[in-house]
A and B are shown apart, each in its own frame.
Chain A
Amino acid sequence: VDMNKVRSDCDQGNLNFDFLVGLTIFILAFAFVINSIPGIFMPYASNLVDLGSVTYRTSCILAEDPGWYNNTQIKFSYSDWEAGNNVEKITRVGLAVDKKSPNVLSAEKIKAMKKLPYEKSRDKLGLNGSLVYDYSLTVTKLGNPNNVELLHVRPDITNGANVDSLERVVLIREGEGLVMDCKGAPADNDLQINNASNMPRLEGNATVRLMNRVTDWAWFQNRIYVTYWINNFSTMPIDIKTYPQEYFSIYKNGEYVSDLNSEGCKSNDVIDIVVNCSAINELSPARNLTRINVFAMEGIPQNIKYEPPQKYSPFESIYFEYFNTPGIMRLEVW
């Protein structure tokens, strides 16, 4: 056997180097294509096609619907699911104050939703059907100067999930009462002088809101006076601060404060003084609380009267308003 021939001329049983490189490149390219195919079809996946409409639908349920609860034991259902133990019988989550006021969210319902477990709220928002969606929700009150996050439902977003988001402009309603806006109020000190005999007595809670002060202030600088009318004659206005704490309560930026004097106030703080009119009336049978006057050391108006019920509105004063604050509701669905 010629050994030279075996070494140099024999090319049987060898793998062609060109072929090897070519095959490697082809396999690499093929693997790459296979790897990226699921991504190409992703926008057409069923849960992604309707993600936008599911997000819109959910945002409408939240921002335009007041929700619903159904008490099967007493066969009663209504939309105040946030009150009492109704939340246990909830059938639909909604944050609007009522059906006629789209985009006006109830602060009470936002508070109640905070306590609702995530799985339950997802179920009652209709996201737990044949396709199960996850959601995250934040409600932010646009403040002056700081924004306050009122609600924060945020489970971890599944890795690689496609998320659709929607922002709704909303109003957050924190009740109603006499608004004393020291910045924007008109220069009208004496709004109305009612005939004393026309003035029915105030009942329940009456709220006075002080806001937009120019400088920082102390509680003693503001005088909230209550006036009683007995047989068409007014008693002297009495400062509410002379009453014990159970007859009024003070809220700073929505949080209860027991002693505002020691805590102090910044100019941009919003102070709510809730006067318990019924309790003050009950102090003696002859008492007829008919008017609350507000005096402030700074800012106009100096003297707003908290007028009692009239024909159309519960309190006939042009400064009796809903406590509405603009906010942003942000919803993400995946």
Chain B
Amino acid sequence: LKKLADDNLGQVFTIEGVVAALILVVALSYIISSITLVSPQTEKSTLTKLNIKAQDILNVFSSEDIPGKHTSNLKRWVSNWGGTEPSVSQITSPSEPSMIALNDSISKVLLKNMAYNVYIYYYDSTTTQVSKTLIYNGEPSDNAGIATKLIVLNKNDSVNYTDSIWADMDMPKTVEIKIVVWPI
């Protein structure tokens, strides 16, 4: 019997070792299954998609809407702009119906989880470059899509030319519209 008690052959000695190995395998499989493999291009392609979306929006609203007239909604909205920027608490200035129309149209084609700002750049009558905000939804995030479009404004593009900001400038005038789109 004494011999039987001393006999340690055929027994599991290192139960701690087995348990540790099992824990390691379980932990490893959990980690590997929970991470999604990200290819190096993923971030770049998301940004490309935002850029495409931004460019699409400007293309869509600056496409000709009256046959043979070279007019577009964007052109009309910008030429009717009175020059007022939105204040800190506003998305668009309430005194600018054309910018409210622009904002409505963009929000219709963008998904709910996207925000956007629209800016305008032009040279005023004193050859100073002016940059102003047309639509403001907040500060864009780092990965934002950007697109710009040059528009040539003529006097007869506007239905209220004398009230617009362009009334005391030389026409035709070339302005640049910039849209910044980012996910929220």
Contacts and interface: CB of A to CB of B under 8 A. Distances in A.
A88 interface: no
Contacts of A326: 60, 105, 108-109
A258 to B, nearest CB: 30
A166 B59 contact: no
A166 B45 CA distance: 10
Contacts, number: 103
B87 to A, nearest CB: 26
Interface of A: 8, 11, 14, 16-18, 21-22, 25, 28-29, 32, 36, 39-40, 42-44, 48-49, 52, 56, 59, 63, 101-104, 142, 164, 166-171, 176, 186, 312-315, 318, 320-322, 324, 326, 328
Contacts of A104: 60, 63
Contacts of B52: 56, 59, 166, 168
Nearest to B101: A184
Nearest to A101: B63
B130 interface: no
Contacts of A313: 66-69
B45 A52 contact: yes
Nearest to B49: A166
B56 A18 contact: no
B29 A32 contact: yes
Interface of B: 3-4, 7, 9-14, 18, 21-22, 25, 28-29, 32, 37-41, 45, 48-49, 52-53, 56-57, 59-60, 63-69, 105, 108-110, 159
Contacts of A321: 65-67
B74 to A, nearest CB: 12
A142 B67 contact: no
Given A169-B56, A322-B67, A18 B109 contact: no
Nearest to B111: A167
Contact of A11 (B10, B13, B18, B105): B10
A142 B108 contact: yes
Contacts of B159: 186
A314 B68 contact: yes
Contacts of A29: 25, 28
B64 A103 contact: no
Contacts of B63: 101-104, 171, 324
A322 B64 contact: yes
A52 B45 CA distance: 7
Contacts of A28: 25
Q: Which of B7, B12, B22, B49 has the most CB of A within 10 A?
A: B49
Contact of A17 (B10, B45, B48): B10
Given A8-B4, A103-B59, A167-B49, 10 more contacts: A14-B9, A25-B21, A59-B52, A102-B59, A103-B56, A103-B60, A168-B52, A312-B69, A313-B66, A322-B64
Contacts of B22: 25
Contacts of A169: 53, 56-57, 59-60, 109-110
A324 B10 contact: no
A170 B52 CA distance: 12
A36 B56 CA distance: 40
List the 3 closest pairs (A to B, CB-CB), nearest first.
A43-B39, A169-B56, A313-B68
24 contacts: A11-B10, A16-B10, A17-B11, A25-B22, A25-B25, A40-B37, A59-B52, A101-B63, A102-B63, A142-B108, A142-B109, A167-B49, A167-B53, A169-B53, A169-B57, A169-B59, A170-B56, A313-B66, A313-B67, A313-B68, A313-B69, A320-B66, A326-B60, A326-B108
A8 B39 contact: no
Contact of B13 (A14, A18, A52, A103): A18
Give the interface centre of B3, B52, B56 by most chain A CB atoms within 10 Å: B56
Nearest to B37: A43
Given A25-B22, A170-B60, A326-B105, A48 B14 contact: no
Nearest to A48: B39
A142 B107 CA distance: 12
